[in-house]
Amino acid sequence: MSLLSFENVNACYGAAHILHDLDLRIEAGERVALIGRNGVGKTTVVNTLLGVAALRGGTLRVGGQVLRRPRAYDAARRGIAVVPQGRCIVANLSVEENLRLGAATQRPGPWHLDAIYRLFPILRERAHTPGTALSGGQQQMLAIGRALMANPALVMLDEPTEGLAPVIVDQLAEIFMAVADQGTALLLIEQNMSLVMRVADRYLAMAKGTVVAQGRVAEEGLEQLHRHVMV
């Protein structure tokens, strides 16, 4: 049974029809990259699951169960955590309070505050500072930590390395592999194809609101992958 599946999914923002007959499937423990140029609808895939974009046909399943009216809470409760594009750290909360927000669904599993602090020692050091006082890279670590606190079966990361220095991107690549080693599946929306090659074993490429190519990352070269994101 797939952790997440979209079959012939169509989705809209009001009158703007963005996803067209999109198919996507993620199995337990997989590391999947979702790639494509700006504006092709990658974030809208996440937004459809969260109920931000309206599902207008097709079938969306989480853990085999059909979601007719997806809601953010349903995805979280069924083991899907999202690290949103732009991180969305809550400004008036400390680092630790931001992390605790992620545990609202209280699923059992290996991730708890102390495990997150072992993964990101800098977050322990800064536990009581406001989340938004952190650097960009640290805020991304906080967003990832917050997602892990839900003990998800699948984490969806929407452009987690956008705007970060290469040394931080390298650290995050290690973190993604450490998370995957715990058996957690990853859906990585990413523009950095060398990161995709390091982290993902499978990719899906989107254009104009649908999946137009897919395959095993190991069977494609960097150039082949780049072709899907060139402007």
Ligand X SMILES: Nc1ncnc2c1ncn2[C@@H]1O[C@H](COP(=O)(O)OP(=O)(O)O)[C@@H](O)[C@H]1O
- Please select the residue that binds ligand X; options are 9, 22, 32, 40, rule is CB under 6 A: 40
Cα separation, 192 vs 172, whole angstroms: 12
In this structure, the strands spanning 80-83 and 154-158 are parallel
Chain position carrying tokens 């993964």 = 119
Amino acid identity of residue 153, one-letter, is: A
Cβ distance to ligand X smaller for residue 41 or 145: 41
Q: Which stretch binds ligand X (CB under 6 A): 36-44, 93-101, 114-122, 141-149?
A: 36-44
Which of 173, 184, 29, 30 lies closest to 109 in space, CA to CA? Answer: 184
Q: Which does 41 bind (CB under 5 to 8 A by kind): ligand X, Mg ion, none?
A: ligand X
Cβ distance to Mg ion smaller for residue 85 or 214: 85
Q: Which does 18 bind (CB under 5 to 8 A by kind): Mg ion, ligand X, none?
A: ligand X
Should residue 39 be labelled a site residue for ligand X when binding is judged by CB under 6 A?
yes
Interface residues with Mg ion (CB under 5 A)? 42-43, 85
Q: Which stretch binds ligand X (CB under 6 A): 35-43, 114-122, 190-198, 221-229?
A: 35-43
Query: In degrees, to the nearest 5, what angle opens at C-alpha 170 toward C-alphas 167 and 175?
Result: 130
Which residues share a beta bridge with 216?
202
In the complex, minimum distance from the CB of residue 207 to ligand X, in angstroms, rounded to a whole number: 10
Should residue 89 be labelled a site residue for ligand X when binding is judged by CB under 6 A?
no
- Please select the residue that binds ligand X; options are 41, 79, 137, 145, rule is CB under 6 A: 41
Cα separation, 113 vs 89, whole angstroms: 17
Which of 171, 82, 166 lies closest to 121 in space, CA to CA? Answer: 171
Q: Which does 38 bind (CB under 5 to 8 A by kind): Mg ion, ligand X, none?
A: ligand X
For 199, phi then psi, to 5°, come to -100, -40
In the complex, minimum distance from the CB of residue 84 to ligand X, in angstroms, rounded to a whole number: 11
Query: In degrees, to the nearest 5, what angle opens at C-alpha 132 toward C-alphas 163 and 39?
Result: 40
Pair 204, 214: CB distance under 8 Å = yes
- Please select the residue that binds ligand X; options are 10, 44, 98, 210, rule is CB under 6 A: 44
Site residues, ligand X (CB under 6 A): 13, 16, 18, 36, 38-44
